Structure 1
Amino acid sequence: MAQVDNVQRDGLKRYYFLRAGVSVAWILAAVAVGTHSPLAAGALLVAYPTWDALANALDARSNGGFAANPPQTFNLFVSLLVACAVLFALQVEPRRVLTVFGVWAAFSGVLQLVAGLRRWRSVGGQWPMVLSGAQSVLAGVFMISQSLVADGHPMTAVAIAPYAGFGAFYFLAAGIALTLKGRRK
């Protein structure tokens, strides 16, 4: 049992560090090119939930498969749907992209919270994921409220950067927590 837990812990640790690194890279791209090019900003806004879908697939596959990980599996499909919704909103009403991200952040936060709680007993070191899920719900509500009062400003990828930054922080914290937990065993 300890062997399986160590393998799962190591896989999650690599996954969390990968998620943190990709989030930081996305933020840097949003600031570097997303502020100057509407096309690049749009591509980044669609890429964010697309990457999340891929990351959820990687997470589910490496931790027992899709059937054993319903929150990640469901989040994969939701993230793909969100990528399509972002693409649609960019073409129809760009200000609604923030609404889409807000709904997604709140919903995926609940799923992340569930996944963190499910893994708490078997793997440990999940407090950052639980906090991240709760923070994501709050960030989603904030984004929705911001999108409703937006006064015609065009949507930019930088508007999502703080959300991505918090995500990077929590994934990094989770990776460090699992690393420290592994050293204590």
Structure 2
Amino acid sequence: MQNHSTESARSLRNLYFVRTVFQVIWAAAVLSTVRMQPQVASVLLIAYPLWDVACTLYDLRASRPAGSARTSQIVNALLGSAAALGIALTIFSKPAYSIAIFGAWAFGAGVLQLVAGLIRRKQLGGQWAMILSGAQSTAAGIAFVLGGLGGKLHTKDLGGYAIFGALYFMIGGILLSRKLSQAVVEQI
């Protein structure tokens, strides 16, 4: 691995582990507040795409991607910001619509994550978990859109969605750690 690739892999690995922890905590908070404190769960629903935007911006700064990888991350940040705004505008008046908006964001973010995973697979390796995560997010997004438009509140399912995402990020972080260890051994 070249120096820039090593630094990118290191920052990406660290980001994956931080995302793992955040998503587990977020899922636990949603699942524990959805019935008794729905206002708290609503705020958490708004926060989730904003967290993704923050992670995307960090990744852009740390890895300095070029070309289509940069474009997909910028689109992802814009999509997450729009989703948070849409959720905030609908969560208290039309909560099922906010689930549909979350689903549209999950679908779009999943497609973009799938693309990013494929690009990074060639550059860094160890991205199969992110590719699977993108595919799962895309499928879950469709389910959330259809459910939300059908008037169903899938708030508990959102916790499961975040837990699966955490698992994928943890696996991605472990795979990148192994790749980084191999690079160190090769340099010796």
Q: Please, what TM-score do these two structures have when normalized by structure 2?
A: 0.89
Aligned counterpart, 2:130:
129
Aligned counterpart, 2:72:
71
Structure 1 unaligned regions, length at least 5: none
Q: How many residues align?
A: 182
Structure 2 unaligned regions, length at least 5: 184-188
Aligned with 1:95: secondary structure? helix
Aligned counterpart, 1:50:
50
How far apart, CA to CA, are the structure 2 residues paired with 1:75 and 1:138?
Answer: 17
How far apart, CA to CA, are the structure 1 residues paired with 2:111 and 2:66?
Answer: 18
Q: Does 1:173 align with 2:171?
A: yes
Aligned counterpart, 1:19:
19
CA offset digits 1:135-178 (Å, max 9, x no partner): 11111111122223336xxx474331111111111111100111
Asked whether the equivalents of residues 148 and 154 of structure 2 are also in contact (C-alpha less than 8 Å), the reply is: no
Aligned with 1:121: secondary structure? helix
1:164 aligned partner, one-letter code: A
Percent identity reads: 35
CA offset digits 1:79-136 (Å, max 9, x no partner): 0110010011113311112211111111111100111111111111111111111111
* Structure 1 vs Structure 2 CA RMSD: 1.8
Q: Please, what TM-score do these two structures have when normalized by structure 1?
A: 0.91
How far apart, CA to CA, are the structure 2 residues paired with 1:66 and 1:21?
Answer: 28
1:175 aligned partner, one-letter code: G
Q: Does 1:92 align with 2:90?
A: no
1:42 aligned partner, one-letter code: S
